[in-house]
Amino acid sequence: MRGKPAPKREIQPDVRYRDLDVAKFMNYIMERGKKTVAEKIIYGCFDIIKEKTKQDPRHVFNKALKQVGPQLEVRGRRVGGANYQIPYPVRPERRFALSCRWIIDGAKSRKGRSMADKLAAEIMDASKGEGAAVKKRADVHRMAEANKAFAHFARY
């Protein structure tokens, strides 16, 4: 590794909810540094969630993140000339990142409507245990379960 590792930056909480997770999710949504566009999408999405579910949108959002976050994932490892898919437990930071990414991908894959509408629908589905993001989590868990026999190759 050349040079020093990049320092971890302090992230500021978002302006409306004063929530770090919402601010991080906003950064995942943001493209080409356009934070105001990401804010409009997130806050529009949260308004839709509040209107449809009559609950605090952060509660629905956190429930969705918990439903989508994987416990195990597989990583490729070369052992004696063969590549094995080895299941590893997922660290909390990576679990958050993966669940955000999968929710955003699930929302982008939906057709029609605005991004705020699609994101709201995906978050509400994920909080109920449905949708593309939850399907992705199930696929990852299924893959880890299928390769459980190779878990002894893992070095923790």
pLDDT (tens digit, 0 to 9) for every residue of the chain, 156 residues total? 789 999 989 999 999 999 999 999 999 999 999 999 999 999 999 999 999 999 999 999 999 999 999 999 999 989 889 999 999 999 999 999 999 999 999 999 999 899 999 999 999 999 999 999 999 999 999 999 999 898 888 876
pLDDT score for 127: 95
Range 20-153 classified under CATH 1.10.455.10: yes
Give me the residues paired with residue 73 across strands: 88
pLDDT score for 121: 96
Tell me the Cα Rg of the chain: 18
Q: What's the one-letter identity of residue 22?
A: V
Alpha-carbon gap, residue 7 to 105, rounded angstroms:
28
Whole-number Cα distances in Å, 101 to 66, 79, 82 = 13, 30, 30
Strands (E), 4-156: 72-79, 82-89
Please, what is the Cα angle at 27 between 49 and 8, to 5 degrees? 135
pLDDT score for 79: 86
79: exposed, middle or buried (Cβ count in 10 Å: 0-12, 13-18, 19+): exposed
pTM of the model: 0.91
pLDDT score for 156: 63
pLDDT score for 151: 87
pLDDT score for 61: 96
